[in-house]
Structure formats: structure tokens, C-alpha cells
């Protein structure tokens, strides 16, 4: 293992020191490992809290700020945060208008956010609504699985629901926006390499030079299929086809296309992939209204990418374009 | 049942007091520390390579928390264990193991010691808590598949009138058999379920740590855990 770390056990706490130093507009609670927007709580504004295991940066801490999250709870690498952390974040952002929990659909995240919401209800005061993201088409949603994973659409939920909260919409309205984004978004990912969890010290799985994993999540878990490596044009088809097969994307509003890097793939390749995706969408008669290319929801040092499509409408488009000022997404301010 | 039962319940040697519960919890923590790499290795095949690390971190915190409690009832020790795990483990293991110990604590109440059947009832309450939290069913390839057969075996052995040590040994064997039986199973819960057919052929890490929990329970009868 070659990493820019001191001790594997200190990776998260030392990284949070860096976040604090680099972003004075944010406030870091090192005890609870929560990144807060510096000016939270803001009277009358619905608080947005997300969180999950670390190792997906910039998700979620990089999305804390104006027009997006009020707080992000940082679990250990690939391990969901504990209820105490989530409760501290919830209480810290509540300004009386209620708090929205944005939870990726993983067993641990769902259980810990659920326990935190139960604790918030038991201690009284804060109204919490949870929205669970589950946009990954690689997982069959059936009684035989825990349901689809929350992946790329989570970034879009945080941006768009964040803009709705910034406009002063109510908790129920912000939650509706978050659910709409999740239900209109679909993702599919692939890996060229595994990733190395610092505490484990070696790659989570071994992937030979001539093979790739299709249908991966964001925790270094193997995908659903291991297939021979292929040119980018064919990989793009393998990612786009199941997405288009799952939801009708043609329509007046067009789509938002996100080509996301898994952490270890250079931007030159992500833009090459974006070209392939764009070409396939235009062949399918789908117009791309907005795009995003880069590393937004990653899996440590994994090489590979995911594609997320979001079916837009006027409201979602306006909310997407609204100003945002966070470490990782910033425009209009 | 041809077995005689005259030497059983009420016999002072079969009572589980706070000292015994404490040594069980500490032994479980030691066994998880010793098997930390194995648990993480199993988890890297079908999960996300953190089960050993997370459970070890939580149980290290439990041992520290228990050191801070001088005298207590079994229920208080179990409650501290559950609360500490919920607050320090994260992932799915934190809520699941935390709920297990909190429900055991609730079942144990404020009694100074537990008779074997009361301990068995507490363990089953813990199992019910795991089911309530995780909605696991038999054969889903989870910790349930090691814990449930252990609870059944413990109940049966106590009903047959076996001494505590022998009953806990039966439970340990059942837990280990349940753990091994997860190998051919298709995972239907947790991250392993994303793998579908590819989860077949791997031993479940949660069932493995749950088997450690049951095998170490033999120290409750003053016996070694290995």
C-alpha cells in the first residue's frame, strides 16, 4: 500500500483537520466528526444533513455550504456514521423548520440514520424526514436484495434539494424535491481496478489487467459481472443501455448527464467517456440540457467511472442552476 | 427424555453473575481482536473489508467502558456494551450488535444473576432484536444463521437438563455449524446481496463473528472458549 497517510487509523481525523484549515467558511466538529456550514442554523431554513462512510470525497463533506448541505456526518472509511454523530448534526442544523436526512440505501446507513431519527424523536423537538436514494440500476430491486444502492443521484439530490431549502421551501416540499430527483435519476458504474482501504492495506479485490467489473457500487465491493476489458465506446454502451432500459428519458426537459470518476481515473479519460455518452444519448434522441464531469462520488483510489442520468423538468432545472458555494460545487456566487 | 434433571436449575454453580458476564464480554473482545484479520478478509470477498476492523474498534471501546464500571448487574454490563457498540462501530454491525446486547439487557432486567434458562431467554431476546433491526430471515446469509441455531440448541439442551457448560457447548457447536452453512448460501441482506450468485461459496463474516460470540459464552460456565 502506497498512500499519503501517517497512521491508517488517523486518516479520517487528520483529513478533517485539513478540511477545517482549507475551508474557514465551514465549521468542523472533530469530536462528532461532522462538517457544518459555518452559518448554520439559519432561521426559517430547512436543515439538510447527509453522511455516510468516508472514502467517497467530495461526497458528502465537499458539498456542505450555501445552496447544498448544512452538515455532513463522516463515518470511518466505507463505514456509515453512528447515530450519535447524526443526532449531533441534526440538532446542530435545526432552526425550527425541520431537518431532511439524505441517506444512501445501504444497510448500515439506513439503520444508523433510522436510529438517529428515533433518538431525535425521543428527545423531542426536531422534526426529521428521511429520503433514501437508490438509483443504481446494477442491482435488481427485489425481495431477494436490500434494494438498489444510492450512488451518483445522491450528488444531484443534495444540490437540487439544497437549492429548494435555500429558497425557503418547507420540509415537506424539500423532501418532495429530493424524492423527485431520486425517482428520476438512474446510475450505472464500472471499475478498472479495485481500491485499497487504508486499514486493510491491500486491494479489496484483484482485477487482472484484461478484465473489468461491471455494476460496481462505491465501497470497493465487486460488481455483478466481471467481463473482458473493452474500448471506451463499448463500455459507455454497457453503462447507458441498462439506464435507458430502466426509465424513459426522452422528453421536453432533457436530461442532466453526470460522468463521475471513481477516484483513480484522470479527467482526460472522463471527458473521453463523456463524449461517448453524449454520442449514445443523441443517437437515442435524448437531449442533454446540463452536464457534470469529474470526481464527485468516489471509491478511494478505484479507477473507473459511473454514469448518472437525471430526467429534468423546469423546476429541477432552475434549482440545479441556482447558486451553490461548496468546496466541490461552486457557481453563481 | 431419559436424562435426569435433579442436579439442574437452582444449583449455585449454574448461576451466571456479573463477573461471569464481564469475563464473557472481555473474552469475546479478545477473540474478535485475534480474528480481526480473518473477519476483514471474509468481508473483503463479499462486503467491504471492514467487519474485523469495525467490530474490534467497538469492542475495544466496550472493554474500556466496562473497566469504568465497578459493581453492576449483568443487565447493566450488557446495556453498556450495547450502547457503546451503537456509538462506536457504525456500519450495519453497530446497530445490529448494539441492539442484540440492549435487548439482552432488557431481558436480564436488574437481577443480580441469571439462571441458565434466563440467560437463554436473554440471548433469544437479543436475536429477536437483530431480526427487528435487520429483517433477516433464515438462509439470508447473515449473523442470524449462526445465532438462531445457537439459541435453539441452548433452549433444547437446557430443557434436556444439561449442565450449563454442556449446554453452552451445544450452542457453540450449533453456531459453528450455522456459520459453516452460510458458505453455499446466496446473500439476501447487506452489501453481499449486491453480488447475487457471486456471494455463493463465501463464509459470511457476520455469521463468523456471531459464532465467536456464542463460542466464547462457554466462559460463563467457567470453561475455556477455544
What CATH number has the domain bearing residue A267?
3.30.1180.20
Interface test with B, best of A51, A107, A117, A137 (most B CBs within 10 A): A107
ipTM above 0.95, yes or no: no
- 3 state SS of B69: coil
**Which residues in A lie closer than 8 A to residue B196 (C-beta atoms)?**
140, 145, 224
User: Do the beta carbons of residue A188 and residue A223 sit within 8 Å?
Assistant: no
Count of structural domains within chain A: 2
For chain A, what is the mean pLDDT? 95
Q: Where are the domains positioned within chain B?
A: 12-221
Beta strand A255-261 with B113-114 is: unpaired
* Measured CA angle at A238 (ends B185, A196), to 5 deg: 60
Q: Is B89 in contact with A205 (Cβ distance < 8 A)?
A: no
Contact B54 A79 (CB under 8 A): yes
**B88 to chain A: closest CA residue:** A82
Looking at the structure, tell me whether residues A60 and A117 fall in a common domain. Answer: yes
Which residues of A are tagged catalytic? 56, 219
Question: Under a CB-based contact definition with an 8 Å cutoff, are residues A188 and A137 in contact?
Answer: yes
Do A180 and A241 lie in one domain? The reply is no
Residues A142, A189, single domain; the answer is no
Question: Is residue A227 packed enough to be buried (19+ CB in 10 Å), middle (13-18) or exposed (0-12)?
Answer: middle
Q: What DSSP string describes A80-126?
A: PPPHHHHHHHHHHH--SS-EEEEEES-HHHHHHHHHHHHHHHHH-S-
Distance CA A79, CA B50 (A): 8
Assess B142–A contact: CB distance below 8 Å, yes or no.
no
Closest partner residue to A75 among B90, B189, B193, by Cβ? Answer: B90
Q: Which residues of B touch A107 (CB under 8 A)?
A: 92, 134, 189-191
Q: Which of B112, B130, B88, B113 is nearest to B214 (CA)?
A: B130
Would you call B193 and A144 a contact, using CB atoms and an 8 Å cutoff? yes
pLDDT one-digit tens code per residue, B103-126: 999 999 999 999 999 999 999 999
Residues B189/B142, Cβ–Cβ less than 8 Å: yes
Q: Would you call A106 an interface residue with chain B, using a CB distance cutoff of 8 Å?
A: yes
Q: Does residue B91 belong to the interface with chain A, where contact is any CB pair within 8 Å?
A: yes
By the CB < 8 Å criterion, does B90 face chain A? yes
What digits encode the pLDDT tens for the residues A134-163?
999 998 765 566 789 999 999 999 999 999
Q: Is A82 a domain residue?
A: yes
Q: So what's the pLDDT on residue A333?
A: 87
Do residues A250 and A307 share a domain? yes
Does any CB of chain A come closer than 8 Å to the CB of residue B23?
A: no
Query: Which class in CATH covers the domain with range B12-221?
Result: mainly alpha
Closest alpha carbon within chain B to A142: B188
Domain end, chosen from A184, A215, A250, is at A184
Instruction: For residues A126 and A91, give the distance between their C-alpha atoms in angstroms, rounded to a whole number.
Output: 7
CB atoms within 10 A of CB A26: 22
Same domain, A56 and A180: yes
Cell reading at A27 = 465549521
pLDDT at B11: 45
Spatial separation of the C-alpha atoms in residues A89 and A12, rounded to whole Å: 17
Does residue A93 sit in the same domain as residue A200?
no
- Cβ separation of A221 and B194 shorter than 8 Å? yes
Name the burial class of residue A228, with classes exposed (0-12), middle (13-18) and buried (19+) by CB atoms within 10 angstroms of its CB: exposed
Please state, in angstroms and rounded to a whole number, the distance separating the CA atoms of residues B32 and B91: 17
Smallest CA–CA distance, residue A330 to chain B, in Å, is 31
What average pLDDT score do residues B195-219 get?
A: 94
User: Please, are residues A53 and A24 in contact by the beta-carbon 8 Å criterion?
Assistant: no
**Whole-angstrom Cα distance, residue A114 to residue B135?**
14
A254, A289 contact by CB (below 8 A): yes
Condensed to tens digits (0 to 9), the pLDDT of residues B134-172 reads: 989 999 999 999 999 999 999 999 999 999 999 999 999
DSSP tag of A96: S
State mean pLDDT over A52-72: 98
Which pTM does this prediction carry? Answer: 0.86
Q: How confident is the model at residue B91 (pLDDT cuts 50, 70, 90)?
A: confident
Confirm whether A41 is domain-assigned: yes
Chain A neighbors of B57, CB-CB under 8 A: 76
Q: Final residue of a domain: which of A184, A205, A229?
A: A184
> Do A164 and A279 fall into the same domain?
no
Average pLDDT over residues B24-28: 98
Query: Which residues on A lie below 8 Å from B55 (Cβ)?
Result: none
Say yes or no: B206 contacts chain A, CB-CB below 8 A. Answer: no
Nine-digit cell string for A50: 447527509
Q: Using an 8 Å CB-CB cutoff, list chain B residues near A82.
A: 86-90, 94
Residues A161 and A194 in one domain: no
Residue A241 lies in a domain: yes
Nearest to B146 by CA among B184, B178, B171, B173: B178
Crossing angle of helices A267-283 and A232-246, in 10° steps, is 50
The pLDDT of residue A125: 75
Please name the residue of chain A whose CA is at the shortest distance from the CA of residue B132: A111
Best mutation target among A116, A144, A221 (most B Cβ atoms within 10 Å) is: A221
CB contact (8 A) between residue A200 and residue B49: yes
| Residue A52 contacts residue A112 (beta carbons within 8 Å) | no
Check residue A142 and give its pLDDT: 59
- The answer to whether residue A329 is domain-embedded is no
**CA atoms in the 13 A half-sphere facing the CB of A63:** 29
* A157-211 per-position pLDDT tens digit: 999 999 999 999 999 999 999 999 999 999 999 999 999 999 889 998 889 999 9
> Between β-strands A47-54 and A99-104, what pairing exists: parallel, antiparallel or unpaired?
parallel
Pull the grid cell for residue B153.
440448541
Q: Please tell me the predicted confidence (pLDDT) of residue A140.
A: 73
Our measurement of the distance from residue A183's CA atom to the centroid of its chain's CA atoms, rounded to an integer in Å, reads 15
Whether A320 is in a domain gets the answer: no
Give the structural domain span for A30: 11-184
Amino acid at each position: 500500500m502506497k498512500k499519503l497517510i501517517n497512521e491508517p487509523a488517523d486518516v479520517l481525523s487528520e483529513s478533517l483537520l485539513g478540511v477545517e484549515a482549507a475551508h474557514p467558511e465551514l465549521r468542523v466538529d472533530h469530536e462528532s466528526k461532522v462538517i457544518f456550514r459555518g452559518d448554520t442554523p439559519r432561521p426559517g431554513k430547512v436543515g439538510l444533513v447527509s453522511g455516510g462512510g468516508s472514502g467517497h470525497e467530495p461526497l458528502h463533506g465537499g458539498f456542505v455550504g450555501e445552496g447544498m448541505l448544512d452538515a455532513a456526518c463522516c463515518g470511518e472509511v466505507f463505514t456509515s456514521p453512528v447515530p450519535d454523530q447524526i443526532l449531533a448534526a441534526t440538532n446542530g442544523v435545526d432552526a425550527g423548520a425541520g431537518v431532511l436526512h439524505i441517506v444512501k440505501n445501504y444497510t448500515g446507513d439506513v439503520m444508523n440514520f433510522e436510529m438517529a431519527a428515533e433518538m431525535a424523536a425521543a428527545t423531542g423537538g426536531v422534526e426529521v424526514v428521511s429520503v433514501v436514494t437508490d438509483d443504481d440500476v446494477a442491482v435488481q430491486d427485489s425481495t431477494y436484495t436490500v434494494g438498489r444502492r444510492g450512488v451518483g443521484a445522491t450528488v444531484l439530490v443534495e444540490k437540487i434539494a439544497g437549492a429548494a431549502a435555500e429558497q425557503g421551501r418547507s420540509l415537506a416540499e424539500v423532501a418532495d424535491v429530493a424524492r423527485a430527483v431520486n425517482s428520476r435519476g438512474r446510475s450505472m458504474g464500472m471499475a478498472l481496478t479495485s481500491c485499497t482501504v487504508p486499514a486493510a492495506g491491500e486491494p479489496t479485490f484483484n482485477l487482472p489487467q484484461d478484465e473489468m467489473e461491471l455494476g460496481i457500487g462505491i465501497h470497493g465491493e465487486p460488481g455483478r459481472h466481471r467481463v473482458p476489458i473493452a474500448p471506451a465506446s463499448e463500455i459507455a454502451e454497457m453503462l447507458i443501455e441498462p439506464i435507458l432500459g430502466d426509465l424513459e428519458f426522452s422528453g421536453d426537459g432533457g436530461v442532466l448527464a453526470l460522468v463521475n470518476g471513481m477516484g483513480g481515473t484522470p479527467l482526460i479519460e472522463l471527458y473521453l467517456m463523456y463524449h461517448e455518452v453524449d454520442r449514445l444519448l443523441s443517437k437515442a434522441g435524448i437531449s442533454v440540457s446540463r452536464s457534470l464531469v469529474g470526481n464527485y462520488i468516489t471509491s478511494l483510489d478505484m479507477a473507473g467511472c459511473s454514469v448518472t442520468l437525471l430526467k429534468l423538468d423546469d423546476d429541477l432545472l432552475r434549482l440545479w442552476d441556482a447558486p451553490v458555494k461548496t468546496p466541490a460545487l461552486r457557481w453563481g456566487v | 427424555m431419559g436424562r435426569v434433571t435433579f442436579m439442574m436449575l437452582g444449583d449455585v454453580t449454574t448461576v451466571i453473575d456479573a463477573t461471569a458476564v464481564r469475563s464473557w464480554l472481555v473474552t469475546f473482545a479478545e477473540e474478535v481482536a485475534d480474528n480481526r484479520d480473518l473477519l476483514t478478509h471474509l468481508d473483503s470477498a463479499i462486503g467491504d473489508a471492514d467487519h474485523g476492523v469495525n467490530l474490534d474498534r467497538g469492542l475495544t471501546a466496550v472493554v474500556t467502558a466496562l473497566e469504568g464500571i465497578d459493581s453492576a448487574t449483568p443487565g447493566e454490563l450488557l446495556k453498556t456494551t450495547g450502547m457503546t457498540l451503537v456509538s462506536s462501530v457504525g456500519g450495519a454491525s453497530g446497530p445490529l450488535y448494539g441492539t442484540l446486547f440492549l435487548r439482552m439487557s432488557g431481558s436480564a432486567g436488574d437481577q443480580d444473576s441469571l439462571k441458565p434458562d434466563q440467560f437463554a431467554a436473554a440471548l433469544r431476546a437479543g436475536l429477536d432484536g437483530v431480526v427487528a433491526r435487520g429483517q433477516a430471515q433464515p438462509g439470508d446469509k447473515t449473523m442470524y444463521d449462526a445465532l438462531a441455531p445457537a439459541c435453539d440448541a441452548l433452549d433444547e439442551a437446557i430443557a434436556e437438563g444439561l449442565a450449563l457448560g454442556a449446554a453452552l457447548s451445544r450452542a457453540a457447536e450449533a453456531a459453528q455449524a450455522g456459520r459453516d452453512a452460510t458458505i453455499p448460501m446466496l446473500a439476501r441482506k447487506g452489501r453481499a446481496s449486491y453480488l447475487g450468485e457471486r456471494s455463493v461459496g463465501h463464509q459470511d463474516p457476520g455469521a463468523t463473528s456471531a459464532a465467536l460470540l456464542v463460542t466464547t459464552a462457554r466462559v460463563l460456565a467457567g470453561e475455556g472458549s477455544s
